[in-house]
Amino acid sequence: SHYDMFVGGVVGAGESYDEAALREAEEELGVSGLPAPEPLFRFLYTGDEHTWWSAVYQVRCELPVAPQAEEVAWHTFLDEKELEQRLGEWPWVPDGVEAYRRLQEFRSA
């Protein structure tokens, strides 16, 4: 089992990236009525066995969350400093680490 710092999932048939981002955020966080997530960037992720397009969005959730138990075994919110510390200590999903690296580059551009 690995940690993931993002909510996310697969774009459904006939669904846009924007629609999928909102649906996944609401499903995984167990909330409804979020504002439309803001698209930041897309990138081609190449893993050991598969390659896929990833889209990174941001949305501020001011609501109390109740993560979807079927998909989220444990959750907490880490500030940037805590996340940087945990990156070297916990096993993370590789595509999430790559998305985070690219997010840092995006923010510093």
In the structure, what pLDDT confidence band is assigned to residue 70 with cuts at 50, 70 and 90?
confident
- Checking if the pLDDT of 1 tops 90, the result is no
- Residue ranges of domains in the chain: 17-108
CB atoms within 10 A of CB 49: 5
- Report residue 67: phi and psi, to 5°: -55, 145
**pTM of the predicted model over 0.85:** yes
SS3 5: coil
- Checking if the pLDDT of 103 tops 90, the result is yes
Class in CATH terms, 17-108 = alpha beta
- Checking if the pLDDT of 3 tops 90, the result is yes
- Checking if the pLDDT of 71 tops 90, the result is no
